[in-house]
Amino acid sequence: MRDIAERVGVSIKSVSRVLNGESGVSAATTRCILDVADELGFRRNDLARGLRQRDRTGSVGVVLQRFSTWFFDNLLRGVDEVAERRDCLVITAGSRDADRERNTLLALSSRRVDGLIIEPLADDHAFLRPEQAGGMPLVFVDRPPQGIAADTVLADDAGGAHAATAALIARGHRRIAVLGAAANLHTVAERVRGYRAAHRAARLPVDNTLLVLGQDGSDSAGQELVRLLGGPAPPSAVFALNSVCAIGAARALRELGLQHRIALVGFDDFALADLLDPPITVVAHEVNEMGRVAAERLFAQIDGLAAAPRTIVMPTALLERGSGEIPGPGLR
Amino acid sequence: MRDIAERVGVSIKSVSRVLNGESGVSAATTRCILDVADELGFRRNDLARGLRQRDRTGSVGVVLQRFSTWFFDNLLRGVDEVAERRDCLVITAGSRDADRERNTLLALSSRRVDGLIIEPLADDHAFLRPEQAGGMPLVFVDRPPQGIAADTVLADDAGGAHAATAALIARGHRRIAVLGAAANLHTVAERVRGYRAAHRAARLPVDNTLLVLGQDGSDSAGQELVRLLGGPAPPSAVFALNSVCAIGAARALRELGLQHRIALVGFDDFALADLLDPPITVVAHEVNEMGRVAAERLFAQIDGLAAAPRTIVMPTALLERGSGEIPGPGLR
DNA sequence: ATGAAAGCGCTAACAG
DNA sequence: CTGTTAGCGCTTTCAT
């Protein structure tokens, strides 16, 4: 800016005014400044700007475990929609594991984004308390955080799992395998809870050997399913607690040629689920809407309008596509 | 930092030294400073730090048209791998259309990321010349930029398309439809070029009415295919120039019950392509590697080691999975 | 081993 | 309408 000011022969403040669209500069000067700025290829340094402006950077961070899933693309789209209206840049960063999650979160915070939307991965997010105390708006999605109180947007995990399980039971399934990620994850625990509740409601026992948790790849989930199906008392249906496991299960069933014999329901929709053979039945929710809600809560905090932290639960719906409607032994 | 300094009774500079791991502070003071910093929940303000340090922020930006595709997840993984070794934060942002691409790019640049990896979307990236002149390292991926010279990492579009088309021709196909995005995109033009070259090599004519470009959604691509198949001289095979079109084509063929009658080859692999019925044959390349190479060029520029801009072309391979090996009328 | 002063590029708060 | 002064939080430079 100084260069421009010198070149035009005005004060640096006038340049600042023009470049920020403030009023109070004559049309002629404005023109001239704009021209020189353009000629010089000037770009405002938002580091300095942010530093001066009480650390407002006009950007929010979204930290997700992995991109690329249908889930998070939709989530981001929802966030984007809201942010766009406020001319706010949405930057995202990956947090493949708990350690890197912490680094990423602290790095974005140091860089003074105006707020953070987080899919919590670590067991404990107490390390974010100083940020929160320092006024950093925080919204958690998909899973509630531990060690800190903040706005949280969740899906109805238990309810969705209950509905999925009940639908399988109603089709005559009595042995329903469960494939899922680590049991200590909130989503996993809740979905298992829904699964158990549905059994209880139908006065059916749960065989714990059918619960195979701790799977965090499609392949391992598929292998576990193969193992179960080869065992002495195989399941007639599978409930996959996330889309990664659902894909692993679909692939395994296909390889065994059992895709039309063993029922499969997944939690969370995924791309092409409807194009597989059979199309995969899933428990879905409006992920777009989830992103929108999360962003709205975040901006409410940014604007200082937020009351106490709230937890918002999004409803789920069972999308019956085919794989989940294969009848079990009770009805065959 | 001032708070800490006052609290401990040392100068602000000593605090800075400790917090940045510089030497020259006694162990006792160090300890004390660390304790107080922790107690206060201190986080360094990287805005101020970057401002002072010649605008080094320890972060690079990746700007992509959309996340969520298999393609970009893999690309990001490659970038991440390289960046992680340097403790560099990778932040990504979407650029859904040309306008927003420009905004996003300039915003990241203003925020002084140390470099930018860009999937160019606009027709002209001359607007980035001032950034480049100002020393902002730039690497383009997937498509070459117009209006600016910079490192670029591409797939072998023409070669891959040639191979795919030749394979279809070899299976007896004589009318091969093409479904793709806007013709002005470099990738599209190159892939069409490969398609034509393969026909020329086989001394076959190309029916231009079979080329349906400008499709940027699965659904519209699928509808166009339905239209072609219902026409007077339908194609016996489809070459989809990207995965979005391939998915649209697969869905359309499935709806028409023709998925085992009409051959389909896609450019770019996608998740679950191998699980569809039939599994989708694609022209693939090492996207991971592409990300790695792009990141390496970027860091070379950041380190000031880069020579003149280079264009690197990644080889492609035809992954024959089933859908592309359905024979045509010539061999039926 | 420690500190004082200057200043990165910008804007807030006041003058004129 | 325009300019001056101060200072955001940090690091650099130089002194002690």
Determine whether the interchain pair A277/B272 forms a contact, defined as Cβ–Cβ distance below 8 Å: no
The Cα B106–Cα B58 span in angstroms is: 18
The Cα B43–Cα B307 span in angstroms is: 38
Closest CB to B111 among A40, A47, A80: A47
The Cα A71–Cα A314 span in angstroms is: 14
Structure tokens at A300: 């409410």
Residue A282 has pLDDT above 80, yes or no: yes
Q: Give the CA distances from residue B289 to residues B20, B85, B137, B309, B312, in Å, rounded to whole numbers and listed in that order.
A: 34, 16, 20, 19, 11
Residue A106 has pLDDT above 70, yes or no: yes
Structure tokens at B99: 């306008």
The Cα B318–Cα B323 span in angstroms is: 12
Cβ distance B142 to B118 under 8 Å? no
Residue A314: enclosing H or E segment and its boundaries?
strand A311-314
Q: Is B57 helix (H, G, I), strand (E, B) or coil?
A: coil
Determine whether the interchain pair B47/A45 forms a contact, defined as Cβ–Cβ distance below 8 Å: no
Beta bridge partners of B239: B178, B265
Which residue is closest, via its CA, to the C1' of D5?
Answer: A13
Cβ distance B127 to B102 under 8 Å? yes
Mutation target for A interface from B65, B68, B96: give the one with most A CBs within 10 A. B68
Structure tokens at A201: 């409601």
Residue B222 has pLDDT above 80, yes or no: yes
Q: Strand C: which positions are within 7 A of a protein CB?
A: 1-5, 7-13
The Cα A162–Cα A194 span in angstroms is: 4
Q: Give the CA distances from residue B75 to residues A18, B290, B293, in Å, rounded to whole numbers and listed in that order.
A: 40, 6, 10
Q: Which whole number is the average pLDDT over B153-174? A: 98
Phi, psi of A43 (to 5 degrees): -130, 130
The Cα B173–Cα B332 span in angstroms is: 10
What is the structure's pLDDT at B91? 94
Higher pLDDT: A2 or B68? It is: A2
Q: Which whole number is the average pLDDT over A274-293? A: 96
End-to-end CA gap in chain B: 78
CA of B82 to C1' of C9 (A): 31
Residue A66 has pLDDT above 90, yes or no: no
pLDDT digits (tens, 9 = 90+) for B182-196: 999 999 999 999 999
With tokens 């531990």, the residue in question is A146
Residue A332 has pLDDT above 70, yes or no: no
Q: Which whole number is the average pLDDT over B217-233? A: 96
Residues of A with CB below 8 A from B92's CB? 67, 91-93
Residue B37: enclosing H or E segment and its boundaries?
helix B27-40
Which amino acid type is present at position A161? A
Query: Residue B315, preceding bond cis, omega within 30 degrees?
Result: no
Residues 6+ apart with CB under 8 A from A121: A65, A95, A97, A98, A101
pLDDT digits (tens, 9 = 90+) for B312-325: 999 999 999 999 99
Residues of A with CB below 8 A from B103's CB? 89
Q: Which whole number is the average pLDDT over A215-223? A: 96
Nearest to B183, CA basis, from B215, B208, B210, B219: B215
Query: Residue B278, preceding bond cis, omega within 30 degrees?
Result: yes
Nearest to B65, CA basis, from B214, B247, B244: B244
Per-residue pLDDT band at B179 (split at 50, 70, 90): very high
The Cα A298–Cα A305 span in angstroms is: 10
Per-residue pLDDT band at B198 (split at 50, 70, 90): very high
Structure tokens at B232: 């007077």
Residue B300: enclosing H or E segment and its boundaries?
helix B287-302
Average pLDDT of the residues of chain A: 94
Residue A331 has pLDDT above 80, yes or no: no
pLDDT digits (tens, 9 = 90+) for B284-321: 999 999 999 999 999 999 998 888 999 999 999 999 99
Nearest to A161, CA basis, from A324, A42, A301: A324
The Cα B187–Cα B180 span in angstroms is: 10
Structure tokens at A177: 């395998």
Alpha carbons within 13 A on the beta-carbon side of B232: 2
CA of B226 to C1' of C10 (A): 58
Closest CB to A250 among B41, B73, B275: B275
Neighbours of A21 (CB within 10 A): 7
Nearest C-alpha of chain A: how many angstroms from B135? 12
Residue A130 has pLDDT above 80, yes or no: yes
Residue A67 has pLDDT above 90, yes or no: no
Residue B78 has pLDDT above 70, yes or no: yes
Per-residue pLDDT band at A56 (split at 50, 70, 90): confident
Structure tokens at A132: 């929160």
What is the structure's pLDDT at B53? 85
3-class secondary structure per residue, A1-57: CHHHHHHHCCCHHHHHHHHCCCCCCCHHHHHHHHHHHHHHCCCCCHHHHHHHCCCCC
Beta bridge partners of A93: A63
Structure tokens at B276: 């569809």
Residues of B with CB below 8 A from A102's CB? none
Cβ distance B240 to B299 under 8 Å? no
Residue A311: DSSP 8-state: E
The Cα B4–Cα B36 span in angstroms is: 6
Phi, psi of B319 (to 5 degrees): -95, 105
Which residue is closest, via its CA, to the C1' of D12?
Answer: B52
What is the structure's pLDDT at A306? 81
Residue B172 has pLDDT above 90, yes or no: yes
Structure tokens at B85: 């070794």
Nearest to A92, CA basis, from A59, A139, A128: A59
Nearest to B43, CA basis, from A29, A35, A129: A129
Residue A309, judged by CB atoms within 10 A of its CB (0-12, 13-18, 19+), counts as middle
**Helices B27-40/B12-19 angle, 10° precision:** 90
Cβ distance B280 to B273 under 8 Å? yes
What is the structure's pLDDT at B23? 86
Structure tokens at A154: 């969740």
Structure tokens at B12: 């602000």
Structure tokens at B310: 């280079």
Q: Any idea which of A296-310, B54-68, B80-94, B250-264 has the lowest mean pLDDT? A: B54-68
Q: Which whole number is the average pLDDT over B21-27? A: 89
Residue B39 has pLDDT above 70, yes or no: yes
Q: Which whole number is the average pLDDT over A58-63? A: 95
What is the structure's pLDDT at B332? 61
- Residues of chain B with pLDDT > 90: what percent? 86
Q: Strand D: which positions are within 7 A of a protein CB?
A: 1-5, 7-13
CA of B11 to C1' of D15 (A): 14
Closest CB to A94 among B68, B80, B130: B80
pLDDT digits (tens, 9 = 90+) for A140-176: 999 999 999 999 999 999 999 999 999 999 999 999 9
Q: Is A253 helix (H, G, I), strand (E, B) or coil?
A: helix
Nucleotide nearest to A12 (CA to C1'): D3
The structure's pTM equals: 0.93
The Cα B11–Cα B48 span in angstroms is: 18
Nucleotide nearest to A1 (CA to C1'): C9
Residues 6+ apart with CB under 8 A from A83: A60, A89, A90, A295, A299
CA of A48 to C1' of C9 (A): 5
Structure tokens at A306: 């937020």
Q: Are strands A59-64 and A115-118 parallel, antiparallel or unpaired?
A: parallel
pLDDT digits (tens, 9 = 90+) for B59-71: 999 999 876 678 8
What is the structure's pLDDT at B136? 94
Residue A317: DSSP 8-state: E
Polymer length in residues for chain B:
332
